């Protein structure tokens, strides 16, 4: 669970009905079943990449230090593919493609999307 998050609980958002990742954009849009559209900056998604390479095998998911300093292509999405009916696999411009983002996880990230970087750096999510 997101620590002390006062915003919309993921359960209230329902399922994902559409994902929009326009080429060249720096924001990824998730359209939820109840009509809400979440806009997730690419830096947020990359910084909280849940893969074992970025996060290790133990402990909570936390901000990957250095994300802000990645080259521009590392924050470009080159592919978004659906995994089952529950998640998306993101492929970044630098070839990183091991992060699988479940829809509930996207909802949790949505809740902090508008927060500043300083806040992102302090938050953790249980796996």
Q: Total binding residues for Zn ion by CB under 5 A?
A: 5
User: Should residue 99 be labelled a site residue for Zn ion when binding is judged by CB under 5 A?
Assistant: yes
Q: Which residues pair with 125 in a beta bridge?
A: 61
Q: Which pair of structure tokens corresponds to residue 103?
A: 């829809």
Return the number of the residue (70 or 111) whose C-beta is nearest Zn ion: 70
Rounded to the nearest whole angstrom, what is the least distance from the CB of residue 33 to Zn ion in the complex? 27
Task: Count Cβ neighbours within 10 Å for each residue of 20-49 and write b for 16 or more, e otherwise.
Answer: ebeeeeebbebebeeeeebebbbbbbbbbb
User: Should residue 49 be labelled a site residue for Zn ion when binding is judged by CB under 5 A?
Assistant: yes
**Which residues sit at the interface with Zn ion, rule CB under 5 A?**
49, 51, 53-54, 99
């Amino acid at each position: 669970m997101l620590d002390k998050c006062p915003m919309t609980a993921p359960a209230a958002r329902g399922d994902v009905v559409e994902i929009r990742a326009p080429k060249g954009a720096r924001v990824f849009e998730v359209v939820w079943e109840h009509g809400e559209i979440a806009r997730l900056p690419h830096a947020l998604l990359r910084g909280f990449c849940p893969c074992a390479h970025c996060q290790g095998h133990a402990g909570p998911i936390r901000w990957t230090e250095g994300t802000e300093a990645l080259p521009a292509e590392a924050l470009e999405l080159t592919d978004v593919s659906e995994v089952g009916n529950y998640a998306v696999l993101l492929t970044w411009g630098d070839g990183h493609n091991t992060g699988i983002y479940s829809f509930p996880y996207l909802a949790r990230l949505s809740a902090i999307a508008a927060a500043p970087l300083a806040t992102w750096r302090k938050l953790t999510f249980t796996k």
